[in-house]
Amino acid sequence: MTRKLTEYAAVLLVALTLNFALPRALPGGPLKLFASPEALARLTAEERAQIATQYGFGEPLPVQFLDYLKGVFTLDLGTSLNDGRPVAEALGEALPWTLLLVGSSIVVTATIGVSLGVLGALRRREGKGSGLLGAAVVADSVPQFWLGMLLIVLFGVQLQWLPSFGVSDTEGGGVLKHLILPVTTLTVTGLGYLFLYTRSSLLSVLTSEPVQHAHARGVPYGRLVRRHALRPALLPVHTILMLEVGFLAAGSIVVETVFAYPGLGRLTFTAITARDYPLMQGSFLVLTVMVVLMNAIADATYPLLDPRARA
């Protein structure tokens, strides 16, 4: 347990360091947010330094880094340069929307992807299994932004069945109708990987020596699959699903931007385009913590599902 905690602490320290360094490695700088390039060019070096110091960017980088770490551990993430709001407040408003989107998507993706993966493994020698495999490979290669735009054009513009942008609870169907297209985009683009992983895991168990011996002893195939193959095959899928929650939150930047969805992904995109360092750092921090937290949950729950891992 101590070793695990040390590893997670080291990962978080590296993530925090990168979180501080990467925004400052972007071309340009935060000063462009306050004036046009022409106006900035007319400022003297002293005026530019005064503005940078006022907003916390005039100190040497080591001092900035220590201030940043202090803010992380005291939950004082600074103030957005774009609208003057506290970063913690902006993140607190956006995070529930992302959790709703990611949570809905992971439930649908897990239900469909795992079910089809099991079916694809059991029917691998039939036409249905080959068709599922081909469809999964295609779905896994579809870009999120392309599928999102396609759904907007088809269901939002041409058919006008579903809202395409934002979230509103004043229309019929409320938030649910606004979730359909973003969730569909995340689900379709995530199905292929989960299908392929589930199929591969189940095939590996079905062709293992213990299962083959049980089959040779005359155990019926249906019972063999239910009692001897499914559980060990789905244990690695549990880990993948836990990690997928964190990665989906990070990967939702594209989907939330395409659908103008008011979540953490869109907030991160806005912060990047505006060179809003405090907001960028806060957004990246939350996304990083989510990935590490899901990894920790997967590590903690896996031994509960598989007693062999407790040894």
Which pair of structure tokens corresponds to residue 183? 């969730």
Higher pLDDT residue, 226 or 191? 191
User: Per-domain residue ranges for the chain?
Assistant: 2-59, 90-310
| Predicted confidence band of residue 194 (pLDDT cuts 50, 70, 90) | confident
What pTM, to 2 d.p., does this model score?
0.76
Closest CA to 162 of 143, 175, 145: 175
Fold of 90-310: MetI-like fold (1.10.3720)
Q: Does the pLDDT at position 154 exceed 80?
A: yes
Report pLDDT digits (tens) over 265-309. 888 888 888 777 788 888 888 888 888 888 778 777 766 666 555
In DSSP notation, 73-86 reads HTT---B-TTT--B
- Residue 306: exposure state from Cβ atoms within 10 A (0-12, 13-18, ≥19): middle
Contact assessment for residue 255 and residue 261, using Cβ atoms and an 8 Å cutoff = yes
Q: Does the pLDDT at position 41 exceed 70?
A: no
Q: Does the pLDDT at position 257 exceed 80?
A: yes
Q: What separation in angstroms does the CA of 32 have from each of 37, 64, 279? A: 7, 20, 16
Q: What is the mean pLDDT of residues 6-13?
A: 82
**Residue 40, pLDDT score:** 58
**Residue 7, pLDDT score:** 79
In the chain, the N- to C-terminal Cα span, in Å, equals: 13
Q: Average the pLDDT over each of 60-64, 169-173, 241-245, 264-268 and give the range with the smallest value.
A: 169-173
**Residue 238, pLDDT score:** 80
Contact assessment for residue 181 and residue 162, using Cβ atoms and an 8 Å cutoff = yes
- What distance in Å separates the CA atoms of residue 1 and residue 89, rounded to the nearest whole number? 34
Report pLDDT digits (tens) over 84-101. 788 888 888 888 888 888
Q: What is the mean pLDDT of residues 161-187?
A: 76
Q: What is the mean pLDDT of residues 104-130?
A: 80
Q: Does the pLDDT at position 127 exceed 70?
A: no
Q: Return contacts of 5-8, CB within 8 angstroms, 24+ apart.
A: 8/292, 8/295, 8/296
Q: What is the mean pLDDT of residues 67-88?
A: 81
**Residue 199, pLDDT score:** 85
